[in-house]
Structure 1
């Protein structure tokens, strides 16, 4: 396929780009190179003949029109988004602008190109979203594709709005879309403001390992390479107009997750004395912190035959290995605005 991947220099987007290029797809990586983007994420495929990079903003309609005209894609995989909940608490405007207005602009550019090209039957607009649009679960139950939306943060509200726009463009204009909602991702190239890289890098630096509240918040953890594989499966074989929930089938509380990371680090990079778990510190909870997310992956498993390939313990070990082996990558990002600071406290 000829794919346009928006946000392809980011964490999940770059995993999609790397896998798609390796699989032989023709890939156009569109990224505005904002604070969380890094072209080093795609360095391994940068010289491939089936890879092109375009620096542009999804909010720029003229640039999006040029993009579609120049590349005539079989599909666009839309991952470009502001995604850090804590940053959305401190500055929601950027999330509204990028995630809602940007998605609208991209939808209109895609629709105009699709209509002008004679409505090619094989075209797909694949919108990648999050399980956070569904809100918070209690101790039981899982999110399905028909769970009512109940976003609790500016980030999740902006993603919920973008999901609704994509569905509306399908129902109103017939634009052929597929949607996916994923659980929490982790793995190589994870920008060092999210929980897992923060824990790894703080541990190595001898700093406190901050856990919000009492650490009881539960997430379903999805290894990013598994997620990229699922996304490429959906864009090729997913049913038009349908959404697919993608989960790792790996529920863990934040405290359990951090303790597992500490045990892995104790084995792979032991301290002179004691355990990295000695550095765990409980901090004031995030405002509106959702208690539990859990994905029911039945639809993608039964319709498309996809399941995750690694457990959370396997994936965390791979992730620690990657950070230990790639210090120049994360060192270069630690001076970017907000990295290493406690965000999301202005509320």
Structure 2
């Protein structure tokens, strides 16, 4: 797999497909939206990026000087909750493809602290996109929704399977995404809109700047963010958790394959994971690989990282945080429909990601 505009031979049919196409990416200054934007630009698409925060100082792949990505797209500052703004952008843009990643909260703690804002952005933001498409004279070829494995709720059995596993998400974030997920089907069946929904797992890779909440970026801040490394934190109630993990380059390929496949319209897919691990094992692996990376630069600091290990903490948030114990997606449907399979080697891609964070946190004043 490569992050450039050219893909492996297995997926080379994507290389010309997006060339000169008009594409909208909402939430393009975020982690996944930014990576999708970069790949589309590399493939020759005319990309418009909508985000509520387009500040040039924001930590985002869009603002990285080494990428020079911002100058290659049309940036529009707008809130997906503003139905009129979304109608104006979509009606005027005459987009061939729309990729929707805009969200208020992507972690359960933030969603609990602001439930109304989470529901408005994560549910009604998507409805506003759909309404704009429904009323537009020029209909997109595909409208993609980034959903989540959390819509399923607590797992029974070995994995979640589309249309067989009940949707029982109960947290604020889970339910808001679940509602959006349902509206995808509604707007396809009632109005014929070409929606595609992907229920995603935990994604890792460079340029994820959510260091306050997400497991890997937060661990990187502990290990590389200060003069001396500190132990990454593991919440006590997460000791029994199991999660799927997929490298971001693989995710972007999966999304573009779904956009390419006309038979995928109106369907919902689980994302095929690259690795399924207990959360303590994932964090332990992060520490071990951080040690290996740091040995290339500073053997003494590498030894400190190793000796620090992992710090276990009791979650300070109240009982309103509903964390699912086990989440594992059956990805056979997306593989059957698109041929998608994870290409990234887990440990190699993890080390590549760690190297990015080490460099970024060591030279933060210089940008990325």
Q: Are 1:284 and 2:314 an aligned pair? A: yes
Correspondences of 1:149-160 after superposition (within 5 Å)? 149-160=167-178
Aligned to 2:251: 227
Aligned to 2:184: 166
Residue 217 of structure 1 contacts residue 292 of structure 1 at CA under 8 Å; is this kept in 2?
Answer: yes
Classify 1:52/1:328 alpha carbon distance in 2 versus 1 (closer, same or farther; 3 Å). farther
Shift of 1:274: 4.2
Shift of 1:311: 3.2
**Aligned partner of residue 127 in structure 1, secondary structure:** strand
Q: Are 1:243 and 2:268 an aligned pair? A: yes
RMSD of aligned Cα (Å): 2.2
Q: TM-score, normalised by structure 1?
A: 0.87
Q: TM-score, normalised by structure 2?
A: 0.82
Correspondences of 1:19-38 after superposition (within 5 Å)? 19-33=39-53, 38=58
**Aligned partner of residue 135 in structure 2, secondary structure:** helix
**Aligned partner of residue 244 in structure 2, secondary structure:** strand
Q: State which of 131, 134, 139 in structure 2 corresponds to 1:111.
A: 134
1-structure distance, mates of 2:144, 2:84: 21
Classify 1:331/1:211 alpha carbon distance in 2 versus 1 (closer, same or farther; 3 Å). farther
Classify 1:172/1:332 alpha carbon distance in 2 versus 1 (closer, same or farther; 3 Å). farther
Q: Are 1:293 and 2:290 an aligned pair? A: no
Q: State which of 143, 154, 169 in structure 1 corresponds to 2:160.
A: 143
Q: Are 1:13 and 2:40 an aligned pair? A: no
Aligned to 1:267: 292
Residue 221 of structure 1 contacts residue 247 of structure 1 at CA under 8 Å; is this kept in 2?
Answer: no
Residue 203 of structure 1 contacts residue 276 of structure 1 at CA under 8 Å; is this kept in 2?
Answer: no
**Aligned partner of residue 326 in structure 1, secondary structure:** helix
**Aligned partner of residue 28 in structure 1, secondary structure:** strand
Aligned to 2:207: 189
Structure 1 unmatched runs, 5+? 334-347
2-structure distance, mates of 1:166, 1:72: 20
Shift of 1:279: 4.2
Deviations 1:159-203 (A, max 9, x none): 001111121111112212111111111111112121111111102
Shift of 1:271: 4.0
Residue 103 of structure 1 contacts residue 162 of structure 1 at CA under 8 Å; is this kept in 2?
Answer: yes
Residue 100 of structure 2 contacts residue 145 of structure 2 at CA under 8 Å; is this kept in 1?
Answer: yes
Aligned length: 324
1-structure distance, mates of 2:362, 2:84: 37
**Aligned partner of residue 219 in structure 2, secondary structure:** helix
Deviations 1:136-176 (A, max 9, x none): 225x4111211211113111111001111121111112212
Residue 152 of structure 1 contacts residue 290 of structure 1 at CA under 8 Å; is this kept in 2?
Answer: no
Correspondences of 1:33-112 after superposition (within 5 Å)? 33=53, 38=58, 40-43=60-63, 44=67, 45-48=69-72, 51-82=73-104, 83-112=106-135
1-structure distance, mates of 2:117, 2:366: 24
Aligned to 2:232: 209
